Amino acid sequence: AAGVIQSPRHLIKEKRETATLKCYPIPRHDTVYWYQQGPGQDPQFLISFYEKMQSDKGSIPDRFSAQQFSDYHSELNMSSLELGDSALYFCASSNLGQLNTEAFFGQGTRLTVV
Amino acid sequence: ELKVEQNPLFLSMQEGKNYTIYCNYSTTSDRLYWYRQDPGKSLESLFVLLSNGAVKQEGRLMASLDTKARLSTLHITAAVHDLSATYFCAVDFGNEKLTFGTGTRLTIIP
């Protein structure tokens, strides 16, 4: 079965650079979530989209932005990168219109800022 | 404040032993999820618990949900080394996102 696909899997950037992370949800899933997980930390919710509209926003820095496109894939744009942005970034998708839905996570993008 | 707490944070146990991980949450919810994460890897869905009294079992793992007590447990029976991982519970507080617990890092010692 198709899973959530994230790209790239690994990314190394220098301070003050920008990065774009991509997420392709499971087909027919209408909701995408972005989470950030620092070393030894639990995943922290950043932002979510339902049917291409932003549905909720968590502790996402103003330097970050995200959007969901007409094909339901999503991109997380990160600017003016800081060392503290180094983390695993997970995308998850679900189908909120379906009873008993659950969120499925992608493999993550490991971002290292040097 | 919407909070999810797990305990213990770290757990070392010998193979063959039984143990329970606890997940408490701060306000009403009847949607709770358990995930497993290996180091540097993604979050693997283990259980979806959607009602009070729900109990699900898969192999040596069994999860339950008590919505009145706002408590879920993940019970490990006769642990084996392959179960070493970090286990997260996550709660849907009705705001269309998951709030994760702090995680329990489980190490099974041969």
How many Cβ pairs within 8 Å bridge chains A and B? Answer: 50
pLDDT at A1: 64
- In sequence order, what are the residues at sequence separation of 6 or more whose Cβ sits closer than 8 angstroms to the Cβ of residue B79? B13, B14, B15, B16, B17, B18, B19, B60, B108
Mean pLDDT, chain A, whole residue set: 92
Provide the pLDDT confidence category of residue B28 given band limits of 50, 70 and 90. Answer: confident
Q: Are B64 and B54 in contact (CB under 8 A)?
A: yes
Do residue A43 and residue B95 have CB atoms under 8 angstroms apart?
no
* Pick from A89-103, B14-28, B96-110: least confident: A89-103
pLDDT at B25: 95
Counting Cβ atoms within 10 Å, is residue B26 exposed (0-12), middle (13-18) or buried (19+)?
middle
Look up residue A85 and give its two tokens. Answer: 């942005």
B97 part of contact set with chain A, CB < 8 Å = yes
* Sign, CA torsion A42/A46/A50/A52: negative
- Token pair 């909701």 in the structure block, residue: A31
Q: How many residues make up chain A in this entry?
A: 114
Chain B residue whose CA is closest to A48: B97
For the cut 80, the answer to whether the pLDDT of residue B104 exceeds it is: yes
Q: What percent of chain A has pLDDT over 90?
A: 74
For the cut 70, the answer to whether the pLDDT of residue A99 exceeds it is: no
